Structure 1
Amino acid sequence: MRIVGGNLRGLKLTDVGEGDAAAHLRPTTDRVRESIFNLLINGTHGNPIPGARVLDLFAGTGALGLEALSRGAARVAFVDDGVKARALLRSNIEKARAMGVTDVWRRDATDLGENRGAGYGLIFLDPPYAMGLGERAMANLLKGGWLTPEAVVVWEESQPPVPPAGLVQIDQRRYGDTLVTLLRRAG
């Protein structure tokens, strides 16, 4: 697993093999990650990455958030309540020398509560598949004021997710068993 673009391109991230089912770690492949970033950068909705505050939920290895940093994001908050995931995150943040522009939160991504700071313009949502956790997390983010008005959400699931009221789908692509849905605020 490597960073596929930007100023950290080629950086090898800590390997988790084929994933860790017990820890619900299922890293996004380099190919899928590259496709996601191509959709973000070249989409008709405008590139949301430069200068963005990024929220990486169910962060796992942190590859999505670190890829965003590599491509110009300003800051990334990684959220994962798994012990193994946070250890991988810290290792990868150190490899990327990104300690000063990242936060690692040991929190339940479906229950972040009220946001007390600035909103986030790019949200990565990669929950364990088919458990309804993405829907719960998105409802909580909207209720808690975590998204900026122009926020873009990148949601990975195995089946089409049910976006909550207030978000509209702007793109959707399937890559093997991964369905990537891009959403943004309605209006």
Structure 2
Amino acid sequence: MRIIAGQHRGLALASVGKGDAAAHLRPTTDRVRESLFSMLTGGRFGDPVTDAVVLDLFAGTGALGLEALSRGAAQVTFVDDGRVAQKLIRENIAKCRAEGQARLVARNATRLAPATETPATLVFLDPPYGKGLGDKALSAAMEGGWIAPGACVVWEESGPVTPPAGVQLIDSRRYGDTTISICTVAE
């Protein structure tokens, strides 16, 4: 795994090794991540990355949020309750020297406390596939004030998603066993 583009282009991220099967640690492949960012910055969605406040739910290795930072996002908050994931995220933040722009919230993404910082304008949502956790986490983040009105949500799942009330599906594309859905939060 590596950063695809931007300031840290080519930087190798921490090795997942055997990962954490119990926590469903399944990093987004470089190819899918590259396609995802091409979708986002290809003009149809404007530029949701530059200067974005990013929320990376079920962050895993932190690769999505760190890719956004490399491409010009202002800051990122990683949320993951897995110990292996938290270790990988900390290691990857250090590799990118992004300590001043990144923070880790060690918490279950479906049970977020109310937000205390600027709401996110770009959200990455990559829950364990097929467990219905994406909808719960997105709803919890919106209720807790973590997400700004009009925010762009990138939802990675094994198949089509049904967004919660107040979130509109804009585009969806399949890459192997991964479906990337782009949504927006109502203004």
Where on the TM-score scale, by shorter chain, does this alignment land: which range?
over 0.9
Question: How much does 1:17 deviate?
Answer: 4.1
Is 1:151 equivalent to 2:154 in the alignment? Answer: no
In structure 2, the partner of 1:164 is 164
SS in 1 for 2:72: coil
Structure-1-length-normalised TM-score = 0.96
| Structure 1 gap segments, 5+ residues each | none
Two-structure CA RMSD over aligned residues (Å): 1.2
| Paired amino acid for 2:159 | Q
- Name the count of aligned residue pairs: 187
Question: How much does 1:20 deviate?
Answer: 3.2
Could you tell me how far apart the structure 1 residues matched to 2:125 and 2:12 are? 22
SS in 2 for 1:48: coil
In structure 1, the partner of 2:20 is 20
| Paired amino acid for 1:62 | G
Could you tell me how far apart the structure 2 residues matched to 1:143 and 1:149 are? 12
SS in 1 for 2:78: strand
In structure 1, the partner of 2:129 is 129
In structure 2, the partner of 1:70 is 70
Could you tell me how far apart the structure 2 residues matched to 1:65 and 1:35 are? 15
Question: How much does 1:19 deviate?
Answer: 4.3
Bigger shift: residues 146-155 or 127-136? 146-155
Kept in 2, the 8 Å contact 1:18–1:26? The answer is no
Could you tell me how far apart the structure 2 residues matched to 1:12 and 1:122 are? 24
Bigger shift: residues 109-118 or 3-12? 109-118
Structure-2-length-normalised TM-score = 0.96
SS in 2 for 1:85: helix
SS in 1 for 2:22: coil
| Structure 2 gap segments, 5+ residues each | none
In structure 2, the partner of 1:94 is 94
In structure 2, the partner of 1:2 is 2
Bigger shift: residues 105-114 or 141-150? 141-150
Kept in 1, the 8 Å contact 2:125–2:154? The answer is yes
